[in-house]
Structure 1
Amino acid sequence: MQASFFITRQIRIHNFLEKTKKKKDAKVEKREGDESGAVEKEQEKLRRKVTELIRKQKLPAVRRIVKDYDESRPWSQEAKAKVGSRLIELLIHTAYIQPPADQLCEGPPDIRPAFIHTALSITRVDKKTSRRYGVIKCDPVVLKGLERSARHMVIPYMPMLVPPVKWMGYDKGAYFFLPSYIMRTHGSKQQREAMKLASKAQLEQVFEALDTLGSTKWRVNKRVLDVVDRIWNSGGRLAHLVDRDDVPLPEKPDTEDETLLKKWKWKLRNAKKENRERHSLRCDTELKLSVARKMKDEEGFYYPHNVDFRGRAYPMHPYLNHLGSDMCRGILEFAEGRPLGNVGLRWLKIHLANLYAGGVDKLSYEGRVSFTENHLDEIFDSADKPLEGNRWWLRAEDPFQCLAACINLSEALRSSSPETYVSYLPIHQDGSCNGLQHYAALGRDTLGAAAVNLMAGEKPADVYSGIAARVLDIMREDAQKDPTSFPDALQARALLDQVDRKLVKQTVMTSVYGVTYIGARDQIMRRLKERGTQLDDSQTFGASCYAAKVTLTALEEMFEAARSIMSWLGECAKIIASENQPVRWTTPLGLPVVQPYRKLGRHLIKTSLQILTLQRETEKVMVKRQRTAFPPNFVHSLDGSHMMMTAIACKRAGMNFAGVHDSFWTHACDVDKLNTILREKFIELYDAPILENLLESFEESSPTLTFPPLPERGDFDLREVLRSTYFFN
């Protein structure tokens, strides 16, 4: 009670002093000479009076004075830092610990501070300079206690047991009591203001889409959770779960050989890095499982959604949700079931084949159904004895989701009437390299449309295999060259047996979202290391550099129209940002977007503990960041719009719907209806002159600037999407 009273009193006094200072400043600006001095004298007199009353502990008198000035307005960053530092200082001065009884020895008790404020010197990367930082260290006894209690920590934004409040404004909706904002603005003042100024009518479709996503009722799949718990309690390591044990650190060799010592240091650094990553993954897994265990006996729960600044929707609860890992998705299922019917039974078989993957997901639908029917023995065994049997499900790319599908299909086939079996499993329809699909539609690119399944085909076109084939052709040509005049010939020869769709998949996926040469190199390097090739670290690095260059070349050849649109978007952004303005646009659903990339300045604040250096957004935009981020952000705003349009239409059709960016989920019996709706909404989205509207908005907001002409576009007929079986599949 005393601490609470002290904090409340400090807040009220702070507000009072801030108010008097602001009043003084306002009056000083209006008056000159003696008047200014009189105001300052009056305010200083009032400050001394309040300080004296506090010293004499005459709190009622202070309250009477402060009452007229106390306002419930947001605190400034400086005020938060000062009050927070003062509270930490009080904690340091009052928090003490005594070791456990079994550690006590004769003599005076070892009572020591629980927290210590000290300085830490950190050497910079160049190893030439160091900098001192103030840090708060906690006693090892406190640290152990925190580690033990971490799994019992309070997670405020849990799933809701009742439907979320409908969105009505920037900060009106979702949770009943917790602060809820419709957009994650990441501190960007311009984005926040744009959202607040947008009318309710303008954001009506965004509100409806988020309400639709939030109204989907979920529950925990107890059978899958039980398997996860068994694996986790036995040490992890299976089904992509992290190993609960650390990697043993290599012993230092008893030698003075610099080469051996260097190798030991390299191995030691890698082992420590691996252990840090494992620790992080273990913490993440524990948080997800703690939520699953807490919610497993609930009949159902809901995920309120909001959007990022580009318009992509996310559950507000951060841990156990359907946007998470395979483990999270396997644990979750719809709380409301629907009979499969003949259509649903077929889609359940296709869904299981998609989850098993390994190339099976690239077969025709009939081929996927046949795959599932040819593995019914393994499917039944997986459902009946997931850990004691043959463990066929563990070979899937998405093992826990595959296990959930095995259980669901087994129960349906063993029932007296599989078509009337009530299924709770979400069935996914995923876009085929969705970013490139949006670029192909924007550019009406016939060649690109065929590569990413916007056009009908007997079986799904696989853009990743197409790029991999072109990469292999280039490497074969390079491998024939003389290494003395063309050094990359050696890299080409080393990689000939490594090139496949998996090597290039991540780079192709992220190419439309602005992946750089360095990003592509790192992606390919990770794939090579996962395979355990015979190449050492330096050889792997060189091979990755070469492979990244060839992959990006192949992409430019196959998706020339997408590259021209990306270049046009980047050039427009550069022109706008060069005038020190952020790039702004409005999505097809009316959501205002302002790119937040501004240079950060340093702001020094003197507190009771130390001087703090805080980052503060300046008025200077980051030109390069505005340019490079605009193409991927713009496409993300379009795929977010497509998902929201589909969500609204599904709701009006009486269907359950969940969305994970370019993956749309519904009950098995409703997949055919979902497929029709998402194709119709894609055509509706791109029937509008999106690039023309964007250029017009740029010219209206920056009439003095000259923008490049729109890129040329092809003659692809968007209506072809309606006939494309594998557009989403």
Structure 2
Amino acid sequence: MYTLEQQIEVEKLYKTLAEDKEFNFLTKAKQNDEYADTKIGKGIIKIVLDNYMSNIEKNVLETVINKKKGIQPSYSKILKNYIVYYKNNLNDFYMTLAVQTLKVVINSVVAQQFLLSNISKKISDELHDEVELHAFMTTVENADKRYSKEMNKRVGRHFKKQFIFHAYQGNDFKFAEYSLKDMVSLGMHLIELLVETTDYFYIDNSQSVEKKIAELRPTEIFLQALQNSEDNSLARVVKYVPTIIQPKSWNGMFEGGYYSYNSVFMRYHPYIHNTKTLKRYLARLNELDLAPIYSAVNRIQNTAYHINSYMLNVVGTILESGGNRAGIPQMKPYEKLPAFPYGDKEIEESEELQVLFKEHKKKMITMIHKENQRQGKALRCTMVYKLAKDFSRFETIYFPMNIDFRGRIYPIPTGLNPQGDDMTKGLLEYAFPKAVSSEDSLQWLMIHGAGLAGHDKICLDERIQWVQDNKDNIVNSVDNPIGYTWWQEQDKPFQFLAWSREYVNALAYMSAHNGSLIGFECHCVIAYDGTCSGLQHYSALLRDPVGGSAVNLVDHDKPSDIYQEVANKVLISVENNSHNGTIEDTDRKGNKMPGTKAIAEAWLAHGITRKVCKRPVMTLAYGSGQYGFGDQIFEDTTKDNPFFNGVGDFRAARYMASKVWDAVQTTVVSATQGMSFLKNLANELASDNMPVEWITPLGLPVQQMYLDLHTECFRLRFGGASVRYRIYVTEPKEGEDTDKKKQVSGVAPNFIHSLDATHLMMSVNACENVSNFTTVHDSFGTSLGEAEELREVIRQQMVKLYSENEPLKDFKAHAEELLGKHIDIDLPQKGTLDINSILSSKFVFH
């Protein structure tokens, strides 16, 4: 057992590591001319920008727009030519001058590059590039549409410039060039205006008598402000990691989780961090009796884990051998494509080479994105492994938890936690599992293992048989996990391997105890997952017998598969179109295009599987509609898919979206009715500028913090990785009015999430003899010795939730109370589903 003092030492250690990381990040930003893009750099820009822009505007009006007769400074002709391209939005022009100057100045002075002439030249060069690109995008027909998206796929200023240079050439675009003297003069002038505006910088001419070199120097005020900002940044940074003793219990909004630094019970978007709306809401929550909420979170975070040393060695070996196994990406970079073997001149003179070069560039971009994805996954795997290795020296680790505004429970530590990916979950096991007290536990152990292998759509007896049939494969995988790779082919390979080891241990235990499993301690998680959880809750809410059957609220011999059920209905409709569909259609402009017959045939050739339908059906309960279905199918299936070359990948996605939508309407009627009711009710509140709010059956007031936000930003194409460079931190507008559109669109998913969170908390609190909980929203896990009780409780609490509460009726009553008037919206009618059927359903959670 570890002490509080030891826990505080762990927190201090990782606090120091986080500070070192932040310090190195800032140091690297200084070295790489990226400091102005950090939070501190943007904060400095925000402080100076308004006054600096006003000064620039005043000067431009005097010297360029309303200029008087006489000799004009050399830079004025440059500004005169530049401003032509911003005549419709002069504010963007002043913003461009100000931001580009500030970025260069900040990056230069923090890197201790003070030479005034060099800074001036860099300012003028970057301004010229920016204005040239803006001129191209706004004067060449469709240039913005044709090139912006592709340019922003390029990473880094060099590759963006290389891409746009070819675009200039292809459109015969030429931009005015200016002498070095005039360009430096412009940069100097902008610096002089900056020095006039702020006391952050000054021009040092003390060395100019002898060396004739002037410098731009930061003032003590700037240096002190910079130091304070960096100190604050380092003070705030924290690395949230597991604790080695039970986390501090929550009994209020602002105290719990960790012992030596602050954490909050409810997570919320940083945009609303300092709003009066949030402060009033949190103060109200802090005064309420939320004992059931705190109790559930505390029980979950008090679950003791430790690192599975067997799995840690397996993961470490795979990483050391280069990865590329069991979902771990390869550790070394992908091989780069060879350079295109022809030069620019040869490409320009040959149409065939131009086509080949375009294909080569497309392959190169694809490879760059693929490599970026590999890097991100490899980095995450490595970080999780290193943290797990570090914490493997402790006998117990715990994960502090908190909730979001809907009540969903999340671990505060990122990376290594029980809600992580397959590899991460495989590295964790219970430190104190409850000993098995029933011989039936062996069956549930096997059923769980078959599910991890991906065989969760068959009946329970078949799952048990699958494990028995693959006993040799399981044993061989445990004995030689690197050489015998069968386990790597399973659906969740690392969790399956961890389970396999426990299964082999269980068999050995039974062999030593006359065939009995009683007393065996199984360290892996035994989990029960909901079937399309959102639709389960809608079907229970409205007693939908059709939807309830489709999502296993009633018992079946084998799991009902709603995704396959929808796919079957879609298939019938598509087959009908393949015989009776239109040959040819026309678009809005009268252009001819293939009809529904051709699209149907393309889909039949591709195959209409449960995978095609799964994501749209899954997201229906969370507010996704037919249009959203189309976007999902396009991204997941039809985009750049050769099966749809003849009919158009986007059109094929829209066609399938309409078929899935129609099929869903007859499969889960309650979901569409429930969502319509929730949106209508939310609209009543939002129209009165009221935040949409309801109270869960456990007494948690859920308030949607969607406020009307104010963000000033403008297009700075070369100025950063994103299309738009945000100057101000996004913040609610004065008055903190609600964002009516988001209040309405967010209510359906948030309401259902609050109900699945309520069900989870009720289940945790109702377990009398369970001390281990591993939960992920609609997934309930515990140790094998506690699994039977949890299995019964989650069914009982689902019935209790909907037999003792009327969430939709209560929401309407609460809305009427907030508005002080009757709302003329009828509650959806309930169907004939017997809610108690959940108690006997084998697959409602399985």
TM-score under structure 1 normalisation? 0.77
| Matches of 2:702 and 2:416, distance apart in 1 | 28
Q: Does 1:308 align with 2:308?
A: no
Q: Percent identity?
A: 31
Aligned AA for 1:456?
Answer: D
Hey, what does 2:240 align to over in structure 1? 157
Cα gap change, 1:364 to 1:94, in 2 (>3 Å):
closer
Hey, what does 2:811 align to over in structure 1? 694
Aligned AA for 1:204?
Answer: A
Q: Does 1:636 align with 2:753?
A: yes
Match of 1:682 among 780, 798, 819: 798
Aligned residues: 603
Q: Does 1:248 align with 2:336?
A: yes
Match of 1:601 among 684, 703, 710: 710
Q: Does 1:567 align with 2:661?
A: no
Hey, what does 2:217 align to over in structure 1? none
1:114-193 correspondence runs (5 A)? 127-128=137-138, 156-187=239-270, 188=272, 189=275, 190-193=277-280
- Give the superposition deviation at 1:537: 10
* Structure 1 SS opposite 2:708: strand
| Matches of 2:294 and 2:406, distance apart in 1 | 15
| Matches of 1:447 and 1:250, distance apart in 2 | 57
Give unpaired runs (5+ residues) of structure 2: 1-22, 24-101, 149-155, 158-236, 586-594, 714-724
| Matches of 1:411 and 1:561, distance apart in 2 | 46
Return 410-419 or 372-381, whichever deviates more.
Answer: 410-419
- Give the superposition deviation at 1:270: 2.0
Cα gap change, 1:221 to 1:311, in 2 (>3 Å):
same
Return 280-289 or 441-450, whichever deviates more.
Answer: 280-289
Query: Is the CA contact (8 Å cut-off) linking 1:475 and 1:496 kept in structure 2?
Result: yes
Query: Is the CA contact (8 Å cut-off) linking 2:712 and 2:726 kept in structure 1?
Result: no
Aligned AA for 2:449?
Answer: L
Cα gap change, 1:574 to 1:334, in 2 (>3 Å):
same
- Give the superposition deviation at 1:453: 0.7
1:164-217 C-alpha deviation (Å, 9 max, x unpaired): 111121101111122110101213332443132125552111110110111001
Hey, what does 1:392 align to over in structure 2? 486
| Matches of 2:545 and 2:584, distance apart in 1 | 39
Aligned AA for 1:175?
Answer: Y
| Matches of 2:395 and 2:542, distance apart in 1 | 47
- Give the superposition deviation at 1:261: 3.4
| Matches of 1:712 and 1:362, distance apart in 2 | 32
Hey, what does 1:489 align to over in structure 2? 597
Q: Does 1:348 align with 2:445?
A: yes
| Matches of 2:136 and 2:251, distance apart in 1 | 52
Aligned AA for 1:241?
Answer: I
Hey, what does 1:614 align to over in structure 2? 729
Hey, what does 1:504 align to over in structure 2? 613
Cα gap change, 1:231 to 1:352, in 2 (>3 Å):
same
1:273-312 correspondence runs (5 A)? 273-312=369-408
Hey, what does 1:412 align to over in structure 2? 506
Q: Does 1:461 align with 2:527?
A: no
- Give the superposition deviation at 1:483: 4.1
- Give the superposition deviation at 1:522: 4.0
Query: Is the CA contact (8 Å cut-off) linking 2:770 and 2:786 kept in structure 1?
Result: no
Give unpaired runs (5+ residues) of structure 1: 5-85, 98-111, 132-136, 139-153, 605-609
Aligned AA for 1:665?
Answer: G
| Matches of 1:124 and 1:289, distance apart in 2 | 46
Higher strand share: 1
Cα gap change, 1:221 to 1:532, in 2 (>3 Å):
farther
Cα gap change, 1:641 to 1:474, in 2 (>3 Å):
same
Hey, what does 1:452 align to over in structure 2? 551
Hey, what does 2:302 align to over in structure 1? 215
Cα gap change, 1:545 to 1:228, in 2 (>3 Å):
farther
| Matches of 1:248 and 1:519, distance apart in 2 | 36
Hey, what does 2:789 align to over in structure 1? 673
* Structure 2 SS opposite 1:342: coil
1:585-608 C-alpha deviation (Å, 9 max, x unpaired): 12211212211222221479xxxx
Query: Is the CA contact (8 Å cut-off) linking 2:242 and 2:399 kept in structure 1?
Result: yes
Cα gap change, 1:247 to 1:312, in 2 (>3 Å):
farther
Match of 2:367 among 265, 271, 290: 271
| Matches of 2:730 and 2:813, distance apart in 1 | 35
| Matches of 2:622 and 2:599, distance apart in 1 | 27
| Matches of 2:673 and 2:798, distance apart in 1 | 22
| Matches of 1:413 and 1:446, distance apart in 2 | 42
Aligned AA for 1:292?
Answer: A
- Give the superposition deviation at 1:485: 4.2
Match of 1:720 among 827, 837, 842: 837
1:378-399 C-alpha deviation (Å, 9 max, x unpaired): 111111111212x211111111
Aligned AA for 1:368?
Answer: R
Cα gap change, 1:318 to 1:678, in 2 (>3 Å):
same
* Structure 2 SS opposite 1:219: strand
| Matches of 1:125 and 1:515, distance apart in 2 | 40
| Matches of 2:134 and 2:705, distance apart in 1 | 29
Query: Is the CA contact (8 Å cut-off) linking 1:327 and 1:401 kept in structure 2?
Result: yes
Hey, what does 2:589 align to over in structure 1? none
1:328-384 C-alpha deviation (Å, 9 max, x unpaired): 111111111333442221111001100111xx2111111110111011011111111
Hey, what does 1:363 align to over in structure 2? 458
Cα gap change, 1:537 to 1:399, in 2 (>3 Å):
farther
Query: Is the CA contact (8 Å cut-off) linking 2:599 and 2:647 kept in structure 1?
Result: no
Cα gap change, 1:253 to 1:649, in 2 (>3 Å):
farther
Aligned AA for 2:534?
Answer: G
Hey, what does 2:592 align to over in structure 1? none
Cα gap change, 1:583 to 1:352, in 2 (>3 Å):
same
- Give the superposition deviation at 1:96: 6.2
Query: Is the CA contact (8 Å cut-off) linking 1:171 and 1:180 kept in structure 2?
Result: yes
| Matches of 2:555 and 2:134, distance apart in 1 | 57
| Matches of 1:233 and 1:125, distance apart in 2 | 51
* Structure 2 SS opposite 1:302: coil
Query: Is the CA contact (8 Å cut-off) linking 1:427 and 1:671 kept in structure 2?
Result: yes
| Matches of 1:534 and 1:601, distance apart in 2 | 44
Query: Is the CA contact (8 Å cut-off) linking 2:388 and 2:416 kept in structure 1?
Result: yes
Q: Does 1:206 align with 2:293?
A: yes
Q: Does 1:703 align with 2:813?
A: no
1:139-183 C-alpha deviation (Å, 9 max, x unpaired): xxxxxxxxxxxxxxx962110001111112110111112211010
Q: Does 1:432 align with 2:531?
A: yes
| Matches of 2:677 and 2:105, distance apart in 1 | 54
1:3-152 correspondence runs (5 A)? 93=109, 127-128=137-138
Hey, what does 2:655 align to over in structure 1? 546
Query: Is the CA contact (8 Å cut-off) linking 1:393 and 1:403 kept in structure 2?
Result: yes
- Give the superposition deviation at 1:238: 1.4
- Give the superposition deviation at 1:233: 2.1
TM-score under structure 2 normalisation? 0.66
1:298-337 correspondence runs (5 A)? 298-337=394-433
Aligned AA for 1:469?
Answer: N
- Give the superposition deviation at 1:218: 0.9
| Matches of 1:718 and 1:611, distance apart in 2 | 51
Cα gap change, 1:217 to 1:181, in 2 (>3 Å):
same
| Matches of 1:166 and 1:721, distance apart in 2 | 33
1:524-545 C-alpha deviation (Å, 9 max, x unpaired): 3454379976555984433323
